[in-house]
Structure 1
């Protein structure tokens, strides 16, 4: 929350400053848009690092760390409702807040980890869980044309703050991991304490408004965010009664997001 405040507060202060100088030729200062967001992550698996914390496991594997460069996690496509709140600084410059219903992002495992211990095939596990993603975006946009134009393309750039919460491990994941090979059957590992870190990402967007009249309009856009985060977890051994390994990985998301909606100016 502190990071979110740090990111958004300067933008809010800037908007307040603009408000004292705002001037549009048609007198419209704000707009609200409701629509649909389609999120298409473009990222790929980034490798998985494991720090072995159990002395027993360290002795058995003769190492205290492992790395699987061809394994990792990828995010599936998602859909959700989106709201845009626009403030018109003048006829061409717009400040925008993008919000909406946090989508549930499904996370898939890829590749083989812990080859040193017989291997756990994450690809065969498939979906490992899902997490709620809160991703407000603040944008500055430039609209081409005039307030009398029916069709008004725009370009913009800004900042996304991503907060991930309420991770739910997919049912059957622990069983699948525990039954992967002779070693895992022996130590009976269980995934615990999964955490996906908050992140800040630059954003660019292109789109267009189609004005039905002075008040109502349709909008469509394509947005890209250079969004990456880090995930950590513990692998607890039910046999040894201790954490056997602490894992971490970079999750590359880099979503392309399309949006269509209907808006009202006032």
Structure 2
């Protein structure tokens, strides 16, 4: 009987140690922003909502979007060193006129220098009081979907692009990432001060310290007539008061 009691006691001790370790691990994940509380992981519980658009949404009726609770919008401006979204100027002006806080985004190319990509963006996107910081979209395309470029190559393009955008707009750009692009190129690489916009449809973001969450690629709203009838939905990770202060130089 004493032997059974000693074995049971050891098992209880092991269980308590494992439970304490699990709680400690959860606390670390929570501190790093990798674990959300139940109400946080539900996008509907957040206060500030937004969309992102490009020419694929066609002509956008911004007052109609605003009436559906859209507080902010990331608007495609440029891609690489030469491409420009044909709807950018109309979307930029329309969002602001409707009271939707706008930010412009640039789709990063792995095939041209960061300096010329910065020139392309700066030539198109005006410095605008109250706008969200510029965004650099870091994801994969074409052959890079199967064969992503090396980290050193990506950073040799990304770093000068970020430096020039920050110098011109007076604020650190937002980095749009997927789980894959974040851990391939940014994690542990000195980008901790940059705001993060994470694409993670249906599942809360598994990257630390994110500020915006793109939680759906398949929503339908009223107010646009393009070839793409779906629209991306986003939330800001914070209160409305925090959003109003976010990204202001």
Structure number with larger C-alpha Rg: 1
Fold agreement, TM-score > 0.5: no
Question: TM-score scaled to structure 1, two decimals?
Answer: 0.21
Question: TM-score scaled to structure 2, two decimals?
Answer: 0.22
Higher helix share: 2
Higher strand share: 1
